[in-house]
């Protein structure tokens, strides 16, 4: 697993974990990455300082943090999340609890390629990632599970 600091065109900074550098490239190239704040799909790696272990005699000096974009207000975050949800629902097919099976079938060429979303257990999602099948969690639950 590798953690990248990411940034969108609007200047919003956020972090995310990826199975590998190749997995990040696959998700980015497939348009599967989006800013957690505004939903912008133009996401790139931000400049990062490597975490280098020092000898016990030399205390670690933390790197100065990058200046993040101004945090969005809760109302703006809710609007961005609602817009992301509308976009996902309009541009992809909800496959429910068969997400892992359908994602694998699409990847293997046994089902037509299309954008899908649904539900998967953590172990199912982990196996998909381990097999090089790009998946990412969504920051909302299906309507049937929402209060």
Domain assignment of residue 66, yes or no: no
Tell me the pLDDT band of 146, cut-offs 50, 70 and 90.
Answer: low
15: in domain: yes
135 burial level (CB within 10 Å; 0-12, 13-18, 19+): buried
pLDDT single digits (tens) 47-93: 766 655 555 555 555 555 555 566 678 888 888 888 888 998 899 99
Domain boundary among the residues 16, 31, 49 is at 49
Element (H, E) at 136: none
Nearest C-alpha neighbor of 102 from the set 130, 126, 124? 124
Residue 109: pLDDT band with limits 50, 70, 90 = very high
Say what the pLDDT of residue 54 is: 59
Query: For residue 104, what pLDDT is reported?
Result: 94
Average pLDDT of span 19-35:
85
In a domain, 80, yes or no: no
Alpha carbons 68 and 64: distance in angstroms, whole number: 12
Number of domains in the chain: 2
Residues 7-25, mean pLDDT to the nearest whole number:
85
**Residue 57: inside a domain:** no
**Domain extent for 40:** 1-49
Residue 5 lies in a domain: yes
Average pLDDT, the chain: 81
Residue 82 lies inside a defined structural domain of this protein: no
């Amino acid at each position: 697993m590798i953690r990248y600091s990411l940034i969108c065109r609007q200047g919003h900074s956020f972090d995310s974990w990826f199975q590998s550098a190749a997995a990040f490239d696959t998700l980015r190239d497939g348009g599967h990455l989006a800013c957690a704040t505004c939903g912008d799909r133009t996401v790139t790696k931000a400049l990062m300082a490597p975490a280098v272990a020092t000898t016990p005699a030399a205390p670690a000096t933390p790197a100065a943090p990058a200046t993040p974009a101004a945090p969005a207000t809760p109302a703006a975050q809710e609007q961005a999340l609602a817009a992301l949800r509308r976009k996902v629902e309009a541009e992809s097919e909800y496959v429910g609890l068969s997400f892992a099976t359908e994602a694998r079938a699409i990847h293997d060429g046994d089902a037509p390629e299309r954008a899908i979303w649904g539900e998967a257990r953590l172990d199912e999602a982990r196996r998909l990632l381990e097999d090089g099948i790009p998946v990412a969690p969504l920051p909302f639950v299906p309507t049937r599970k929402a209060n």
